[in-house]
Amino acid sequence: MNVCAPCRSNGRDVTTQTCQIGVVHGLFDRCVTGDREAWRDLHRTYQPIACRFLARLGVPGSDVDDACQEVFVQVFRYLGRFEHRCDFQTWLYKLCLSQSARLRRRRKLQRALAWLWGHESAAHTAGHDWTDRMVEERVRRAFDRMKPLHHEVLVMFHLEGLEGDEIARILGCPPTTVRRRLHYARQEFEQLLWAGTSPAGKGSAP
């Protein structure tokens, strides 16, 4: 069953989108009741659309299939709450946008880890049997515990890739202040990451 196949009305072709108004609603109802064939039809019809959109959003080719699978996990989980206030494909696009944003955040975290491993602190991992998930969790906790002024400058420089002069314009401070904050931010981040202890006080950046 191809729910997007063109149909005819009064001798004229009706667009795929128009066909969906009636045909796809029935398909959704079958999916909600647990009809496996209906789920296969839904996936077969919309999976290429989701994959194409994710790729155009910049999701790397090697990640597109996994990202698309995550999108359809969300479809499976929440289709019963879908009230047809918008076209299904519109909702699908929104799910793809959310998944793409999650992947971008994950890549930023990976860049942060790459920066981290490139520093001498990576030597501290010797003797620790840490999985990637454990390391990511430690990084997140370290970021959460940082002084706000340290946190923001570290994010802008290492995750967003902004130059010192641009960060200075954003924060409204001299570039020398940015460099000083970045120096202390790196120190604080590494202390929190490896020791897991909060620094004394949460005052202003040096």
Q: Left if phi > 0, otherwise alpha if psi is -120 to 50, otherwise beta: which for 38? A: alpha
Q: What is the tens place of the pLDDT at every residue in 6-54?
A: 334 344 443 444 444 455 677 888 888 888 898 999 899 999 999 999 9
Q: Domain 118-195: give its CATH architecture.
A: Orthogonal Bundle (1.10)
Asked if residue 141 lies in contact with residue 197, where contact means CB atoms within 8 angstroms, the answer is no
Q: Assign domain 7-105 one CATH number from 3.50.50.60, 3.40.50.2030, 3.20.20.70, 1.10.1740.10.
A: 1.10.1740.10
Q: What is the tens place of the pLDDT at every residue in 54-67?
A: 999 989 888 899 99
**For residues 202 and 24, what is the distance between their CA atoms, to the nearest angstrom?**
55
pTM of the model: 0.50
Which residues in 164-182 are b (16+ Cβ under 10 Å) and which e?
beebbeeeebeeebbeebb
| Residue positions counted in the chain | 206
**For residues 186 and 191, what is the distance between their CA atoms, to the nearest angstrom?**
9
Q: Where are the domains of the chain?
A: 7-105, 118-195
